[in-house]
Amino acid sequence: MRDDRERLRDILEAIERIEKYALLGRAKFDADELIQTWILHHIQVIGEACRGLSEEFRSVHPEFPWNRIIGMRNVLVHRYFGIDRDLVWVVVESNLPALKDQVREFLRDQT
């Protein structure tokens, strides 16, 4: 079983994979189904990693928006044809950089 630190590293890895294609911009995201699929998949990975964190860890660290992240994963997994690309792009541009910083800071403080 993966521990909380491993799951946090999974989150960082997924964010970095998203960033690789998000750098191409919103127009490329809108135009390329493979990039959309890549980004959506890795957002799901982030949600799954958060869902797998121990309940204790999540409750001790309320500064992370766990429920929102897991909720986004659930929407992406269960609403195949109802995914709002505008919302996904907001997550990519606004939410993921902050999450990346928070996770990095936490991991750095724990070493």
Q: Given the structure tokens 């990095």, which residue do they identify? A: 104
104 is catalytic: no
78 is catalytic: yes
d(CA 49, CA 53): 6
Q: Which of 5, 42, 73, 108 is catalytic?
A: 73
Q: Which two structure tokens, joined as six digits, stand for 54?
A: 């121990």
Question: With the C-alpha atoms ordered 67, 68, 73, 74, is the resulting torsion angle positive or negative?
Answer: positive
* Catalytic one of 78, 79, 85, 104: 78
What's the rounded Cα separation, in Å, for the pair 29 and 52?
28
12 closest CA partner among 42, 41, 54: 42
Q: Which residues are catalytic?
A: 73, 78
